[in-house]
Amino acid sequence: MDLAANVEAIQQRLNAACDRAGRDPSSVELMAVSKGHPPEAITAVAETGIRLFGESKVQEAKVKIPQCLGNLHWQMIGHLQSNKAKDAVHLFELIQSVDSLGLAQELNKRAEQMAKTLPVLLEVNISGESSKFGYGPESVMAELDQLNALPRLELHGLMTIAPWSQDAERVRPFFRKLRELKERCEEKLGAPLPILSMGMSGDFEVAIEEGSTLVRVGTAIFGERTYS
Ligand SMILES: *Cc1c(COP(=O)(O)O)cnc(C)c1O
């Protein structure tokens, strides 16, 4: 597999989507989702210039991250249980998958113990599918002030996983809804939330057209995973 060619192709599609949306490509960050792939593949992708990597399991990240060379930036994108919060705060620069006040409080406590501030995104289940983790849109609004009051957490934005579809156009309304929810959150907080993390291998171009600032691409860069 020619990982550099994959990255190049994604970058071109990303640029074209920005063109269509009248956006500057530098306003969209490309994360390589490396779950299920070994350190050698990660190093090969890092050599193309990508510095931001996403992992979804604490156990896997704990083993892999120390084996990856270079100055890489790691974010947690998978469901996080409170009993893994301590490891997560240690391993990751940002947690994208905060989906309850209880988890946020635990992360806050662990960050405090490590004398850190922890940037986080709130994961939103924007489609309401029962198989997905994440806040319902109205619960985000309801808990926003309490989340924002946690002294060791910094709210940087929202993240969502759109429903899977053959036809990426069908997920456009979900991306639009997340953008609108972000705007409502900003109004309530009276402060900007810079990150809108949405779009994966199958739908990142539509996500960019709808305002994504961070796309999480796994399969289209690394190929198929050995687990899903
Ligand atoms: C696995 C995963 C991705 C990447 O999915 P691909 O379809 O392989 O690009 C993105 N975001 C999250 C939260 C994931 O778990």
Instruction: List pLDDT tens digits, range 71-126.
Output: 999 999 999 999 999 999 999 999 999 999 999 999 999 999 999 999 999 999 99
204 found inside a domain: yes
State how far the Cα of 93 lies from the Cα of 116, in Å rounded to an integer: 10
Closest CA to 189 of 137, 145, 138, 143: 145
Pairing of strands 195-197, 118-123: unpaired
CATH, residue 61: 3.20.20.10
Residues touching ligand 1 (Cβ under 6 Å) are 33, 35, 56, 77-78, 161, 200-202, 216-220
17 found inside a domain: yes
Model confidence at 46, in pLDDT bands (50, 70, 90)? Answer: very high
228 found inside a domain: no
Chain segment 171-212, per-residue pLDDT in tens:
999 999 999 999 999 999 999 999 999 999 999 999 999 999
pTM score: 0.97
- What pLDDT, on a 0 to 100 scale, did the predictor assign at position 227? 62
SS3 content of the chain, % helix, strand, coil (to 5): 45, 20, 35
66 found inside a domain: yes
80 found inside a domain: yes
Tokens found for residue 76: 């947690």
State how far the Cα of 179 lies from the Cα of 45, in Å rounded to an integer: 29
Model confidence at 1, in pLDDT bands (50, 70, 90)? Answer: confident
57 found inside a domain: yes
Q: For a pocket test of ligand 1, which of 77, 96, 178, 196 has the largest count of ligand atoms closer than 8 A to its C-beta? A: 77
The residue contributing the CA closest to ligand 1 atom 4 is: 218
The residue contributing the CA closest to ligand 1 atom 5 is: 218
153 found inside a domain: yes
Q: How many domains is the chain built from?
A: 1
Consecutive H or E run containing 217: strand 214-217
Task: Tell me how far the alpha carbon of residue 216 lies from the centroid of ligand 1, in angstroms.
Answer: 6
Nearest atom of ligand 1 to the alpha carbon of 56:
15
Note down the domain range covering 204. 3-222
Model confidence at 69, in pLDDT bands (50, 70, 90)? Answer: confident
227 found inside a domain: no
